Amino acid sequence: MREHSKFARLPLPMLALGVLLVFSRPVFAVQLVRYVLSIDGKPVLETSTSGHNENADRMWQHLKQLHLRPVNGFRVQPDRDDRLRATLQGKIVIQVDSGGRAEVSELRLIRENEDAPGLVAPAEVARTLANRHKPFVFSVSIDGKPQLATGLQTRTGNTRDDADNVWRQLERLTIYPIQHYKIEPEGDDPLRATIAGNVIIKLTYDDQPWGWAEVSELRLVRDRVRGRWRIDPSVVERTFKTREKRRSSGVIVEHRQDLERSMIRRVCVALRCGIESETEMDRRPP
C-alpha cells in the first residue's frame, strides 16, 4: 500500500531569454535553482529555491529545508515502523542546478507529521554532499577574451571526479558561442571550423580553476549543417597531454578570472534552462 505524500509539483521554469541577453547583464542577483530526484531514470520528486550567487555546496545544503513535491502523481510509501519516515530505493539520482549530481541506491526522507510535505533527511544531505559529482564548465578565450563555453555540467558514474576524468568530458560536450561571437565553418567543409589566435581552454570545477591548455588554433566539428559544435577529439587528446593542471597568474590575470567565472556561471544557467536539448535539435530537418 502506498501512501500519498504532500509533495505538489512545481511548474517548470520559464525558458531563459537567451545566452547573449544573460551575458550582457551586469548582475543577476537571484536565480531559480531546481532540484530533481529521479528513480531508475524517471523524475519523481522536485523542488526549487532562489539562489543568490551561492557556491555549489551551499546550493546542495538547501535540501535540508526544501519541501519535496511529486512529479506526475508520484506517491511516497512511508516506512512500516515509522510513518514519518520513508526509504526510497533503486537507482536514485539527485540533480541540482549549479549544485551537482549524486547517485545512490537508497535515500531516506522525513516529515514533521503525516500531513506535512517531506524533506531529504539531514544525514542524507550530508552524505550526498560529500560524495556527489560537482559542477564544472569549460571556457575558451580567444586573444584574451572569453568567446566560447560549455553549459554547466556534471559527471555520472561511481568514480570520484579528478582533473583527468573531468577534462576527458570535453570530447562529448557542446561548445556555445558567447558575447556575440560567431563560429565560421570552413568553406570546403561546413562540418568543420578552425579558430586561430591565442586560444586558451580553461576548466573551472566547483568555481575553482582545474587546469588550462593553450593552443595556436582550435578545431571544431559538428555532425550536420546547423548542428552544434564540439571541440575536435584530436584537440581534446592533445590538450589532455599538454595542459597545465594548476592556475598560472601569468596567463590570465586574477581579477579577470573572477569576472570571467561570474559571467560564465550566468551563461551556464541560461544554457541549462533556455536552450533546447540536442536530441530535439537533431530532429530538425537540415
What residues form DSSP beta bridges with 201?
A: 140, 213
Same domain? 149 vs 273: yes
Predicted pLDDT of residue 7: 32
Same domain? 114 vs 158: no
Predicted pLDDT of residue 51: 74
Same domain? 58 vs 148: no
Domain count, the chain: 2
Same domain? 112 vs 143: no
Q: Write down which residue in 115, 131, 147 finishes a domain.
A: 131
Same domain? 248 vs 276: yes
Can you list the alpha helix ranges (DSSP code H) found in 100-155? 122-131
Q: For residue 255, is it within any domain?
A: yes
Predicted pLDDT of residue 246: 63
- Cα–Cα distance, 10 to 71 (Å, whole number): 8
Same domain? 228 vs 241: yes
Predicted pLDDT of residue 268: 55
Which regions of the chain does DSSP assign to beta strands (E)?
31-39, 42-51, 69-70, 78-79, 82-96, 100-110, 119-120, 136-142, 145-149, 176-177, 192-205, 208-221, 230-231
Same domain? 62 vs 196: no
The answer to whether residues 21 and 273 touch, using CB atoms and an 8 Å cutoff, is no
Same domain? 119 vs 104: yes
Predicted pLDDT of residue 277: 37
Q: Write down which residue in 96, 131, 166 finishes a domain.
A: 131
Q: Write down which residue in 131, 160, 193 finishes a domain.
A: 131
Q: For residue 231, is it within any domain?
A: yes
The answer to whether residues 139 and 264 touch, using CB atoms and an 8 Å cutoff, is yes
Residue located via cell numbers 521554469: 13
The answer to whether residues 88 and 107 touch, using CB atoms and an 8 Å cutoff, is yes
Q: What is the mean pLDDT of each run of 10 residues along the chain (286 residues)?
A: 35 32 43 94 96 86 96 95 97 95 97 94 97 96 95 93 96 93 96 97 95 96 97 97 71 45 54 41 42
